[in-house]
Each structure stands twice: as C-alpha cells, then as structure tokens.
Copies of this chain bind each other. A is one copy, B any other.
Amino acid sequence: MNDTRTLRQPVVVDFASTAFARIKPVAVTAVTLSGAFWGPRFATNIEQTLPSQWDLLESTNRLNNFRRVVGEHDGPFEGLFFNDSDLYKWLEAASWVVARGPNALLEQRIDEGITLIERAQGEDGYIDTYFSVERKDERWTNLRDLHEMYVGGHLIQAAVAHHRATGQRRLLNIAIRFADMLCGRFGSASDGKIEAIDGHEEIEMALIELARETGQAKYLELARFFIKTRGQGLLKGGRFGDAYFQDDVPFDQMESLAGHAVRALYMACGITDLYLETGEEDLLPRLETLWDRLTAHRMYITGGVGSRHDGEAIGADFELPNAQAYTETCAAIGSMMWCHRMLAATGDARYADLFEWTLYNGMLPGWSLDGRGYYYVNPLEDDGGHGRQPWYYCACCPPNVARTIASLPGYVYGTDEHAIYVHLYAESDAQVPLGERVIGLRQRTRYPWDGAVEIQVDGEGEFALKLRVPGWFDSSASLTKAVDESGEAASTGAARTLPKVIVNGKPFDAKLDANGYLEIRRQWQEGDQVQLDLPMTVRVWQSHPKVPENRGRVALSRGPVLYCVERADMPGTDLDELYIDPADIEVEWQPEQLGGVVRLKAASQKRAIESSWGGALYLPLGANAHKGQSEPTTIIAIPYFAWHNRESGPMKVWLNYRGE
C-alpha cells in the first residue's frame, strides 16, 4: 500500500478502485464544513462529544477491560460482552478528526487506545476482551449471541479509518492479524473450515473495506462467504426466531428487510459493498427492491427504521407507532451508510435524498445540542419522560453518532470521470479532485434554513457540475419512491418542477439527468459563480391510510427539516387537544432559540377533551355530542432534531388535523 496516497485520500468508504461504483467519494479532508449550522456541530463533536466519550470509556471500565487482559486491572470484566466496539467506533471518529489537522488530545487518546488493543491481542490475532481472560474456552462457541465478529468488524473499520486518516499502519496491522485469523478459521467446509456466521452483521462491510484498503481479495471472499451462508437457519433462532438475524431466508429470496433493524441495515450495507466490488448479477435489483419496500412500507417520516421495542425490530408493513417507535439512532446511521453505498452503485439522487433526510431527522435527534446527550430510541411522540442520556449500558449509539458527524464532510461531494456531484448543500469549502485536476468549490448557503445556494467554482475546463434536486423540493411528490401493490417501484410519469439555476448572473438552462441531478455542463473558469434557488415552503404531510396512528393527522417539514411541537413552546397545553389548520402557517427565524432555528407558527383550534369525554375510555357514538369548547390558538413547531433540549415535556410529530 502507498501510505502517502491513503494519507491524501481519507474517504469514508473507498470506492476508488471498485469497478461498479458510478459515483466515487471525495475525501473527508477535502471538505471543510462551516456556516451557522454545521460549523458549530462539527466543532461540538470534536470539543465536547469525543473528549467526554473517551472519559466515559474510561469511567465505565471499557478501557479497563483491555487492561485486565494484560494484568493491569484487577476487577472483573465489566459491562456488555460487545463493549470493545465502543472504543473502536470512538477511534474511527477520532481518526477522521486528526486527519484534518493536529489535535494533541485526540492524538494522545488514539495512541493510548491503540496501545491497549495491541497489547490485548493474542498471538493468534484474536481480540475480544470479554473472551480474553476467564472465557478463553468459550471463544466462537456462541456466534449467534455474543458478537465476536461484530466487535471484530468495528475493529477493522476503525483500523481502516485510522490508516486512511493518518497513514499509520499500527491499528491496521492489528486488524489484519485478526482478519487473517478469521480467514483461516471460517469459510467453506470443503476448504476444511468452519461454516458459520455471526448473529450481528457488521463484519461483512468491514472485511470488504479491508480488502479495498489492502488489496487482498481473501477478505472480500470471506465477506462473500458470510453473506451467502446467511439465511439458512444456521444460527438456530432463539427467542425472536431466525428472522431476527436475517437468517430465515437467503438474501436472493428476501422479500422485505425485517428483524433487528440495525442488523438488517448493516447486512444491506455489506451486500451493497459486495455488489460494488463484484457487480454480481441479481444483487443490485434485489437491493433496490428491498430499499423501495422498506421506504414505502416500513419507514418513519423521520427516516428512522425500527417499529418495535420487542426484538428491536423493523416491524410489519405500515406498523409505525409514534410513542412506541424504536427507531434506534444506530438504525438511522445504518440507513445512511446503506444510502451512501446505493448512491455509489446507482448514482440515483433519491439515495442522497434519504441520506440527507435521515441525517437531519433520523440521526441528529439522537444527539443533544450540547454534544453530550444521546437518544438510543427516537419516538415521534412522547409524554415527556424520554430524555437523552450521557451514555448507555449498551452504548452503541453515542460513538456511532460521533463517527458519522466526524466523517460528514466526506458525504458532501462525489465525482465520476467527467462530473462533480453536489450531494449535500452545506456551507463549506472543498478541493475536489477530478481526473488530474483539483477543483475548488466554495459553497455559501444558510441551508437547511434557506434554499439559496451559491457555489463558486475554482477550476478550468469542461466538466459537469451536478446539483441534486432534493426530493423535498417537489411540492406534490411523495417523500420516498412509491411502490405499487406488487411491491415494485411505481412510475409516476409526472414531469418535475425544476429549481432555477444562474451561472455568473445569467439563467442557465440546466437539464435534469436521469438520476435526479441538474447538470451544468460547460467550460469553467476560475471564480465562476453558480446560484441555485430551492425555495423552501412548508410541506404538510399525510400518511398512507394503513398507518393506524396517523389517520387524521399531518406532519410538517420545511426544506430537509421535519418539525414537531413540544410543550416548552406552549406551556400548560395538552398537545392532543390541538387541531392544526395547515393552510395558515408562518415561518420565523429564531436566532437565539436552540442554536438558531426556523420555527413554524400555525393557526389551530384547541378542543377540550376531558369536558366531552368525562374520563371514559369507550363511549357510545353520539353519547358525547357536546364536544366541549373549541377555541383558536397557535401551534409553535420546532425542528424535530432539536426536541428536548430545553425542558422535559410532551412532544408530537404527527398533529391532529380535521379539515379533510
């Protein structure tokens, strides 16, 4: 490997040499986020989130679990059996940070973390501190439940990120030793190996990234083996059955993503990676069908996935309860990771649409504005009892947020041979390699609060700048692609309204390409100015009538941001008594509120419940003909991602509406 190359190209996922990627990534370090929205958040991740998480890794004995392997800590193993992965995700996050420039604190922590891992690794390459002292004999005896490969997968991802970010091989070598041991042990019985899979997917995408990073096909082959071996009931069910692990049916016969949400989505990431490397027939159509069905039947309007606390499961079609939504933060991240890979595989802007929507509305709610609180579960309605926590006994989500935010610059742009793709709108400065050239892109925008985007292009020659037309821009389109009754993606046929493009002060007749990007193909000059105008009007969403809780309700969004109401803005009000008038909504910029947000003010009626119901649970129709007083009032809505950052209190995304 050429360390210099990897040092120059720290990409989140490396599709650079994959034959089947239509859009390649731009390096994390090639883009600097700034502006009022992402600037402070990016800094908060570095200054608050990562240092405090390291302290928690220490104080919860996650680091001591490594020290006890070499006799430097006396107590028992503490916490959950897969807690090593929290350190690994933290290292991945911190690596993306130090790739951007010096950070003495994080560099020192990274070094300390790697040293702990290095010393705890066995001579055979094995590393999992739960099994490294008193449970040595239990290694590999319960792949279904005990996550050894899941933990190892996060080690590999951390190692690849660290190598890309710093050019250093120290952690990579640890991961290679571990992966080589896996390759020697697991695989086809005809090769004398053990045919087994891990209960929690993760190793698949990790091994494929390791193959990309090292050029060693054996890691891709092992990932392929794990993927092809899944779905045959090898794990033998357990409390939630084979579907929990996606082990009930082989991928090529899978009808819908189901079971444990994070596992299902991580599986989908690994299989998309497999397609990207091999171009294997049938994989991509199946992935597209599963994505279409997931987003048309089993996705919250937040982009979140996972309807059931029971088994942390995706749930059945249209099973989307609000207060009882599970929608784990890690599942939102899993969906974003999958979207990123599907975007690479197809070039289709709808994957970037959902990436963006889930970033703002699925993942960001899981992270408090101060950078030190997290949701594991993200309900769309709450009575006030659900607050963010500084950490969890099962703390998979906090460092997963950290690594996603730290690598976010790497998701903004993409390239193919002749074009630069603008996937995300965000104030930023970038140096984008395009063939032999490097094109400077200076993006200025108040997005997500305003859809006016100015991009200064600093480069010469002919190429296309491709601007994503966000899904939210089309005022009559469904949130995600519609799927017909057979489960196939339905064709809408309608012509899309296009936003205005101005180049150097003059209207430019940009065409929409087949993938949903506006193409500006021209001869560029240093300092060319592109203006894109994406007017943000308030969208009022309704749910498919088969979603039981959302009948007679609407949700509000503006631009890529979904809204909610919470009691902090309406003291003393029972949110269930509010009925919104969606025709009368005002938009207000509130610079002092919640770090600066656009909030919405909607006319509404307040209809007293208790005076008409008198405390009964079931009443004969008509028995409460006098429906209690109704009085005009105003609903204040704030971005859903910002909820519960002021005080505890009821919150709702879906609001009563009785005007149909």
Contact = CB atoms under 8 A, between A and B. Distances in A.
B616 A296 contact: yes
Nearest to A318: B617
A475 B484 CA distance: 44
A203 interface: no
Contacts of A60: none
A310 B240 CA distance: 11
A218 interface: no
Interface in A290-316: 295-297, 299, 301, 308-310, 316
Interface stretch (A20-28, A222-230, A452-460, A535-543): A535-543
B620 A545 contact: no
Contacts of A483: 615
A542 B621 contact: yes
A615 B482 contact: yes
A576 B620 CA distance: 22
A609 B476 contact: no
A303 to B, nearest CB: 11
A621 B554 contact: yes
A544 B321 contact: no
Contacts of A310: 308-310
A490 B383 contact: no
Interface string A302-342: 00000011100000100101111000000000000000000
Interface in A465-491: 475-480, 482-485, 490
A30 to B, nearest CB: 34
A490 B551 CA distance: 30
A609 B316 contact: no
A311 to B, nearest CB: 8
A271 to B, nearest CB: 23
A390 interface: no
A614 interface: yes
A545 B490 contact: no
A619 interface: yes
Contacts of A545: 576, 609, 613
A297 B542 contact: no
Contact of A321 (B381, B383, B548): B548
A582 B541 contact: no
A549 interface: yes
A514 interface: no
Contact of A617 (B296, B582, B620): B296
A190 interface: no
Interface in A374-397: 381, 383
A542 B321 contact: no
Given A308-B310, A485-B610, A299 B490 contact: no
B618 A323 contact: no
Interface in A551-591: 551-555, 576, 582
A316 B582 CA distance: 30
A539 B615 contact: no
A614 B542 contact: no
16 contacts: A299-B617, A308-B310, A308-B324, A316-B323, A477-B620, A477-B623, A478-B617, A478-B623, A479-B616, A480-B616, A482-B614, A490-B614, A546-B609, A551-B552, A554-B621, A582-B621
